[in-house]
Amino acid sequence: MLIKKCPFLNICGGCKYDFTDDKYHANKLSELPKLKYTDDAIWAGAGLRRRADFAFNSGHFGFFKKQTKDIIDITHCPNLVNEINEILPFVAKLPWACAGSALITKCENGIDIVIDSVVPHFSAEFKTAVEKLPPQIIRFVWNDVVIRKYTEPEIKFNDKMLNYPPHAFLQPTIETEQILRDLVVKSTGTAKRVADLFCGLGNFTFATKATGFDVFGNGIKRDLFKKPLTTKQLNNYEVVIMDPPRAGAIEQSKELAKSDVKKIIYVSCNPNTFNRDRAILERGGYKIKTLIPVDQFVGSAHWELFSIFEKEQ
């Protein structure tokens, strides 16, 4: 697939770097000057994003203009999968009379669209327009109210098929999801007692036969920000996997630092909160053994980090 330079580069706030540029790797690596990574960066392909957050306001639908709340009208993004680009012109023409966001996700069996808006209700005109959208849009939700649904959206982790609830977390591409899962599985090794914290729908949980914990997903329901696993609970596990949101896992890291867990696999989408949590773990006697940057958010300034910590004896 030929990936063309984005016509909205330096206009749209989504991408900072031209992923078609020969200097893209060097430019992107400049975002990690203070990180001493142990392995070369892993580079993902462009044009593979299966989900994106769009904005709408007063008839405009698209992405925010760089460093503003103005909206650039978007009907095609070269970093998105074809299935999303095919429906964007139809979605952009909906009667967007108020403001909000639209999360569009390519699932295994079609496209899912979830709207968040300060306006609690949609108009009859909007409902009629949604009902006329292409059939590959299998679910359309407004503030938790289902406007239309042909079937339950599904996602798949290897051979595990799952229902995809509105607002559920997914890695942005299937490619990087698989890369991270393979790294986690390999690093877990033969461990029998594994905890998967902030497990989401189970990208790592099923593959490692772990016990999952999260507020939202297929694991044990537990808010790890307000109620992290205690040191005593953590000591029941040989390996702990953590893949928290951008806010990191400060409270859980404090408990881990006091634990006897042999290995911590930490996947982070925010180098800043990662470094904060890393310092906590290191003060508790853990030493980082592996740190690999993954270019999961192609074109943006953001990096995913895969790391392994082991307890110093």
Structure token pair of residue 201: 């729908």
- What is the Cβ-side half-sphere exposure of residue 119, based on CA atoms within 13 angstroms? 14
Question: In terms of Cα–Cα distance, which of 219, 272, 258, 264 is closest to 238?
Answer: 264
Give the span between the Cα atoms of 187 and 290, in whole angstroms: 10
Q: How far is CA 40 from CA 32, 95, 265, 292, in A?
A: 12, 47, 18, 7
Give the span between the Cα atoms of 311 and 301, in whole angstroms: 32
Question: In terms of Cα–Cα distance, which of 156, 96, 171 is closest to 126?
Answer: 96
Helix (H) or strand (E) holding 26: helix 24-29
Question: In terms of Cα–Cα distance, which of 93, 14, 4 is closest to 54?
Answer: 14
In the residue annotation, 269 being an active-site residue is answered as yes
121-127, long-range: CB within 8 Å, 24+ apart, which pairs? Answer: 122/147, 123/95, 123/97, 125/95, 126/94, 126/95, 126/97
Question: In terms of Cα–Cα distance, which of 31, 44, 40 is closest to 293?
Answer: 40
Question: In terms of Cα–Cα distance, which of 245, 273, 263, 257 is closest to 195?
Answer: 263
DSSP class of residue 159 equals T
Give the span between the Cα atoms of 85 and 76, in whole angstroms: 5
Give the span between the Cα atoms of 266 and 274, in whole angstroms: 9
Which candidate in 12, 15, 199, 269 is catalytic?
Answer: 269
Catalytic positions: 269
